[in-house]
Structure 1
């Protein structure tokens, strides 16, 4: 019987969103990206109908084992927190981050911890040699026979070996460098990344083995490859942080087994990434006292309140339009806050450059930090420092009102635990029980908050003058 020949055809595939087209587009009609269409050869023969599924039986939902009972802890409280309490069997996790941020170090540390407890981990090194991984393990001060290194880029062979070894965890570093022999496109292409992810997804669900994928990121900070990959995996994690700071933040952009609001905080040291159990103390460690333009805000990441220092600086604009520059804070939101201060608090910022910096490489995204950022700007413009033992919580509206935020009591309790004595909160907020050792200052508008700052400064100056006369 003659062999059927598979015909090939040429299509254009968008490297950003995975759109396939028979013709070339300078701009992708789906995602709008420019210059992302790449020509690729695909099979023209339609798929036959004899493909078989997984053969899984029909189950009653009440008899399905809950994932909460079978989670695998990575022996890292911060890592487990972001995952929702640990790894679920058969989970496919995609980890992305800038080059050199610590992705491979984080996964190798998790592998070594599991191996030290007798579990077997298979590490597919498609980018590095075994010698390079051994050097990293030596820097971490740990080695283990339970971590098996496979320097292989052919994913077919890697999956075959994983099926034979049955490891507790499979790590593929990285998904952009492995390939399937059945596909003729080059590693890292849209079709290869998509097909490799699909094969690993089938392996993870069939063998109930958690799989970690390391993903490269683009210059925009997104994981390279088609966006369909993020839809296929169960969890998408991003390891963030400034390369010149020691702090690293692990965020979940997608998590089918837990919340996406939790973050993990790590500190990069000579011995690897260490868990930070008290991020607030770490972010406030180098805070200067009695400094104008400095305020402490309380942000809520999932269930964890974190205290962050916000610094602001105003100076006369040397030329042209005044600049509004923010680091770790949304630049558009900064322009809104400056407009609110100018309109409703009487601050003349029209000819002032305004700079805002969130210390420690952290990025503030929730509006509960508006009050602290605005008062830091007012403090810098007036030269009057804010209270060193005060925190500021509240969202600002366009009318200058201070709006309430969720989780206020949890934020106040964390501030009191760290030794702060006063908290500026929205006047509309309802606090069910007082927080011991914390004085609550209710403010209804930004004008009231700025005026209270000026009144307190005058009172401090008068009290200092009386003390000097005595």
Structure 2
């Protein structure tokens, strides 16, 4: 019998070492390294002789393709994120916090496909079939010819799938509950998750069925499930949002067959997740027009413009080190904007706590939000409300220069559609000409120009209050 070499794998991040250690050098977690044996993957095992290779057919790059390479789910926001639907033979990972809506959106998509005549198999490792039926009844999906099963063994799952007609879509909920005989550790461990996912992905490539794996994520987002599987699958979709709120955002962080900057917006209702075709109206529906520290940012999420409210609160700090709290934006970017405001505009935040929030649960990643954030900060510090009919976008450099951003026309058209009259932004690039539009464009070249405008508005408000007091 060939000797099997031992290796040590971190159950927190999946890091591999040649010897045991109390602390993982990759993620810094203590007491998370467990010994595993090599050769336990699919196709391997103790005492198994290496199989002689076979000749693999080589195909030309240019040739006939499948006439229907994608399977449209019928849920527009979901298809937008995946790039147009499920790709046959692909493997997807849908991650997110427990209770965020992963199982809900997948069973809705599966029911839509089943109604269209596709064979769809939903395998639950966490719930019994009767429990899945109860959820489907609550969502009004009992009329869909969806096939259900409750199983956790990879070998039994693959045997069942291969016994009947090839399914178009297979959903595994969730990958943390699946186990295989080829790994010796407990279900949910790195070895079990990796080996089980490898077997299911191989089935997808060989059969042409689309396999969707569900993975739970903790608050830190570093458990073994999604982090180990991410590099193995073709696409990774993550649900964002607060479990206590009504809105959910589906974002693609990896996609071999489509863009990775698209988002899908959903609203959680009693009948499941409902599509939100116009997210701007959703994010701006409850904004306060007369509150200092609120600025509307005209952003881009993939190919779709989205308007969202940036909320800032600047208050005197009783602490020696003021607080800096950010929700929905990069904290390092906030520190940079504060530094530029102090260095080039003379606005002091050293004795104030700063709180920044992106309304609606959306996470902004593009630097075009710099100008809107700066406007909200200065507005809150000065106690002056910004023009409620204005939107802001522009990137701020370390020198205080406001740089133009891409897709300015799409941002302006979305703002115009929602009733905004003015856009505070840098001058457009030479290659992007502005067409006829009733919106007024107030260009800013330096961040100090914006600060001066907010200060003038604050001064005017103080004079108005003084006259009212007299």
Secondary structure of 1:423's match?
strand
TM-score by length of 2: 0.92
How far apart are 1:342 and its partner, in Å?
1.9
Secondary structure of 1:333's match?
helix
Secondary structure of 1:111's match?
helix
Please name the residue that 2:441 is paired with: 440
Which has the larger displacement, 43-52 or 309-318?
43-52
State whether structure 2 residue 269 is matched by structure 1 residue 264.
no
**What is the alpha-carbon distance in structure 1 between the residues aligned to residue 303 and residue 282 of structure 2?**
18
Please name the residue that 2:310 is paired with: 310
**What is the alpha-carbon distance in structure 2 between the residues aligned to residue 337 and residue 378 of structure 1?**
11
Instruction: Structure 1: give runs of 5+ residues left out of the alignment.
Output: none
State whether structure 2 residue 24 is matched by structure 1 residue 28.
yes
Q: How does 1:256-295 map to 2 (within 5 A)?
A: 256-295=256-295
Q: How many residues align?
A: 463
Please name the residue that 1:74 is paired with: 73
How far apart are 1:282 and its partner, in Å?
0.2
Please name the residue that 1:207 is paired with: 207
Please name the residue that 1:134 is paired with: 133
Q: Is the 8 A contact 1:18 1:226 kept in 2?
A: no
Instruction: Structure 2: give runs of 5+ residues left out of the alignment.
Output: 40-44
How far apart are 1:271 and its partner, in Å?
0.6
How far apart are 1:325 and its partner, in Å?
1.2
Listed one character per residue, the Cα deviations across residues 147-188 of structure 1 (whole Å, up to 9, x for unaligned) are: 111111111111111122322210111111111123322211
Q: Is the 8 A contact 1:416 1:435 kept in 2?
A: no
**What is the alpha-carbon distance in structure 1 between the residues aligned to residue 448 and residue 8 of structure 2?**
57
Distance 1:300 1:226, change over 3 A: closer
Which has the larger displacement, 192-201 or 276-285?
192-201
How far apart are 1:317 and its partner, in Å?
0.9
State whether structure 2 residue 10 is matched by structure 1 residue 14.
yes
How far apart are 1:367 and its partner, in Å?
1.0
State whether structure 2 residue 59 is matched by structure 1 residue 59.
yes
How far apart are 1:146 and its partner, in Å?
1.7
**What is the alpha-carbon distance in structure 2 between the residues aligned to residue 400 and residue 412 of structure 1?**
23
**What is the alpha-carbon distance in structure 2 between the residues aligned to residue 433 and residue 397 of structure 1?**
24
How far apart are 1:264 and its partner, in Å?
0.7
Which has the larger displacement, 425-434 or 251-260?
425-434
Please name the residue that 2:357 is paired with: 357
Listed one character per residue, the Cα deviations across residues 110-140 of structure 1 (whole Å, up to 9, x for unaligned) are: 1111112222211111111112111111111
Q: How does 1:380-419 map to 2 (within 5 A)?
A: 380-419=380-419
**RMSD of equivalent CA atoms:** 2.5
Please name the residue that 2:34 is paired with: 38
**What is the alpha-carbon distance in structure 1 between the residues aligned to residue 349 and residue 416 of structure 2?**
34
Q: Is the 8 A contact 1:17 1:225 kept in 2?
A: no
How far apart are 1:396 and its partner, in Å?
1.1
TM-score by length of 1: 0.92
